[in-house]
Structure 1
């Protein structure tokens, strides 16, 4: 969760790296879907920063404006990704319908595809908790109060309704079951959280460890 301006900058850098973008700015004319996704993720992180760190009356007014802007982008893109759910290094692969419950929690470096849903099962007021480096393929459904370990790959059109306790495996099917011991192989140069932190450390003044 973003708790400071430094966190905010790190989240943006991590997301930018995970999306494979060289430029931090959103182009004035968006020429491909990654630009639209980046615009969405930047707005999402800005709203998180204002929600978590800005408490003055003027900032609360601006927060309402940011919520309105995010809602308009959700209508435009079909992506409903709420604030304070995903850790740094979020990479939305493509535009398309994505519905994430606001009570879900997802770790760093999540790769998220279209037609994905993380939601309740109707029997409990709780949703999934996903670890770090989780890869969610197109059409996956993650339903109910479950936990998913680090490095898990969730195959296309899978329905996950039970805990995935083993790290670095692939699950698929409906209901999802383990099909491989191979986990997330997303390229190391796109794992934004680690690279963003390395970049920050490299610019520290001498004497700071």
Structure 2
């Protein structure tokens, strides 16, 4: 969770690396002006919202927060992302535009790579949502729901339904309902982990 300006910058740096955004300063500004990367723009706004929500107090900052939230919501609707604040750790990588729905009570560790048509949510009227560890790859169409926990270094295959806790690390899970398929090295499918 972003709880200081230093953490805010660390999250931005990790997200930028996860999205493979190169360049700094003027060159990045010009590139974003000519051909904007809307996913990067979305993630920057998400992190700024988290910073203002968690760290800034006072009426002026609250008003600014609500203005930021309004702008962020418009971009989220454009991209079909429903990703609330304070869910993902640093190093979030949204791979493509398209529907992504995440419950506000879900918690996801650092270095998550998430694809289109993913749903991370509660189940059957139970307010609790999933908790995912660090270095998790979520394939297109995966559904993760209920009061469950997943370990670290896990890959969830496309179109899988995960509704039970799997605490083992370094595995691929797939199917409906999802189960362990094999042991894997997740650094092969999350590019920014190789650095």
User: Does structure 2 retain, via aligned residues, the 8 Å contact 1:18–1:190?
Assistant: yes
Structure 2, unaligned runs of 5 or more: none
Give distance in 1, aligned partners of 2:40 and 2:106.
21
Determine which of 32, 39, 49 is the counterpart of 2:41: 39
Q: In the alignment, what sits opposite 2:34?
A: 29
RMSD (Å) for aligned C-alpha atoms: 1.6
Q: How does 1:51-70 map to 2 (within 5 A)?
A: 51-70=53-72
Judging by fraction of residues, say which structure has more strand: 2
Structure 1, unaligned runs of 5 or more: 196-209
**Higher mean C-alpha displacement, 180-189 vs 134-143:** 180-189
Cα 1:7–1:66 shift into 2, 3 Å = same
User: Does structure 2 retain, via aligned residues, the 8 Å contact 1:5–1:49?
Assistant: yes
User: Does structure 1 retain, via aligned residues, the 8 Å contact 2:187–2:193?
Assistant: no
Q: How does 1:116-131 map to 2 (within 5 A)?
A: 116-131=118-133
Give distance in 1, aligned partners of 2:23 and 2:116.
24
The structure, 1 or 2, with the larger RCO (C-alpha pairs under 8 Å, 6+ apart) is: 1
- CA-to-aligned-CA distance 1:64-108 (integer Å, 9 cap, x gap): 011111110111000111110000000001111000001100000
Query: TM-score if structure 1 supplies the norm length?
Result: 0.87
Query: TM-score if structure 2 supplies the norm length?
Result: 0.93
Q: Alpha-carbon deviation of 1:124? A: 1.2
Q: Alpha-carbon deviation of 1:187? A: 6.4
Give distance in 2, aligned partners of 1:11 and 1:77.
21
Q: In the alignment, what sits opposite 1:144?
A: 146
How many residues are paired up? Answer: 190
Give distance in 2, aligned partners of 1:146 and 1:184.
21
